[in-house]
Amino acid sequence: MKKSIVALVILMALQTSFGQKKPNVVLFFVDDLGWADLGYRNAKFHTPNIDQLKKDGMEFSRAYIATPTCSPSRASILTGREPVRFQMVRHIDDGNGIDFDDKSNSINNFSLWPNDPVQMPSINMLPLDEITYAERLKELGYYNFFLGKWHLGDARYYPSKQGFDEDYGVCNYGHPKGYYPPFFKDVNPLASFDKSDLYLETVLADKAVDFISNYKKDKPFMLSYFHYDVHGPQIGRKDWVEQYKKEGLKGKDAEYAAMISAVDESVGRVRKALIEKGIADNTVILFTSDQGGFFSNAPLSGGKTGGNTLGEGGARVPFIMYYPGVTKANTSTAIPIQTIDVFPTLVDIAGGKVCKDKQVNGKSLLPIVKGEKFKEDRSLYFFRSYEDQYAAVIAGDWKLIKYHSGLFHLFNIKKDQAEQHDLIDIELRQAARLKKDIAKWEKKAVPAYNKK
């Protein structure tokens, strides 16, 4: 009798508000993949698996990163918070910046970037007191597996310290030294492959497939697949490089395209593994990127580098969600969202109720995919400190970009997604409204920095 009651309790714990077993979740988080660098937007790239994922699910065509750069983008998707709120305004330094001791005298907590015009310190790790989606999902009965790029602090701050039950391929380097062995320098989590000729993306995909195929736990899983591709150095998988060269691409263009196709193959392999395991119909898939691309992001302006990273080409990223039985096939929405929305969305999916974490800045996306009411008039905020351009706000169709030097730009993104027509001196009412909006947000969200 007692065993029956226990079994019933466990069964009930695995139910959601949709009346079915809690779904597994796979999150693909690609590094430096541009918004326009997928086959369904640019025919020169071969991405049939990602294209199919879009056809099967819902695309969010205006998805953004709150701080579009390596480490903060990871911190924001993991915590649901704007990274500036815990003083992460740049990527974590792995040797290029200047160590900065904060007022607690803890060495290497912060770094300064030599060319930052305001010399703003940026934290060198994801603080352990920040709550990740893995920690929340664990409370909701999930097993969390982290695969790939971390770049959020050394071993003291690795995924195993941040709510994940298992991790693979993790180190604190922002990118590998090469995509063929040896992949990393002194701290090499994949040293066992040094004598092989395996491509890095293949190694990670093999592990993802192995995890899914051999998963036997009596609880749902969350697979966080954080790719090292397509970050530089641009070294594509050799067979794909040759294929793209035959099609007319040269040099780094061919290498970059080959890297994208390798990621696409990983998506396809993971989806195939889910089908073969018999769990594809009960697995949510999310696909996105950590910031805009290094190469051209046309028709969008700006990109990963060049002083306009808060432009659409730097801050806007691909975002696809496939939730079997919930998302409608081949649908799209232009409602502006940010990847900080992933945390509350996952909690909503896993718990069957709205996320109550007060520290989270994001909003669950489930109302959008279910066609329910969603607060579309919210503002989205951006902040990064490398150069003169440092902050932005999006409110519906309008976007204001702010510079340390006092310059402002204003664009209507719906009419001008390429940001070619600055309306700062024309749309005075909108400009004034958004200047007030971002000033209010900065006062609340940007912490006081103490420099020595």
Token code pair at residue 174: 């922002």
Digit-coded pLDDT (tens) for 116-173: 999 899 999 999 999 999 999 999 999 999 999 999 999 999 999 999 999 999 999 9
- In this predicted structure, the answer to whether residue 35 has a pLDDT above a threshold of 70 is yes
Digit-coded pLDDT (tens) for 347-376: 999 998 888 899 999 999 999 999 887 777
Q: What is the pLDDT of residue 448?
A: 56
- In this predicted structure, the answer to whether residue 324 has a pLDDT above a threshold of 90 is yes
Task: Please report which helix (H) or strand (E) contains residue 284, including its range.
Answer: strand 283-289
SS3 state of residue 100: strand
**99: amino acid identity, one letter:** D
Token code pair at residue 198: 């395996």
- In this predicted structure, the answer to whether residue 95 has a pLDDT above a threshold of 50 is no
Q: How far apart are CA 89 and CA 72, in angstroms?
A: 7
Query: In terms of C-beta distances under 8 Å and separation of at least 24 residues, what long-range contacts does 36-40 make, across chains too?
Result: 36/293, 36/297, 36/298, 36/299, 36/300, 37/230, 37/260, 37/293, 37/295, 37/297, 38/260, 38/318, 39/264
DSSP string spanning 22-86? PPEEEEEEESS--TT-STTT-TTS--HHHHHHHHHSEEETTEE-SS-SHHHHHHHHHHSS-GGGG
Q: Determine contact, residues 111/191, Cβ cutoff 8 Å.
A: no
pTM for this structure?
A: 0.92
Digit-coded pLDDT (tens) for 380-402: 999 999 999 999 999 999 999 99
- In this predicted structure, the answer to whether residue 12 has a pLDDT above a threshold of 80 is no
Mean pLDDT (whole number) for 293-316: 94
Mean of per-residue pLDDT scores for the chain: 91
- In this predicted structure, the answer to whether residue 450 has a pLDDT above a threshold of 60 is no
Digit-coded pLDDT (tens) for 404-430: 999 999 999 999 999 999 999 999 999
- Hey, what domains does the chain have and what are their CATH numbers? 24-377 (3.40.720.10), 388-445 (3.30.1120.10)
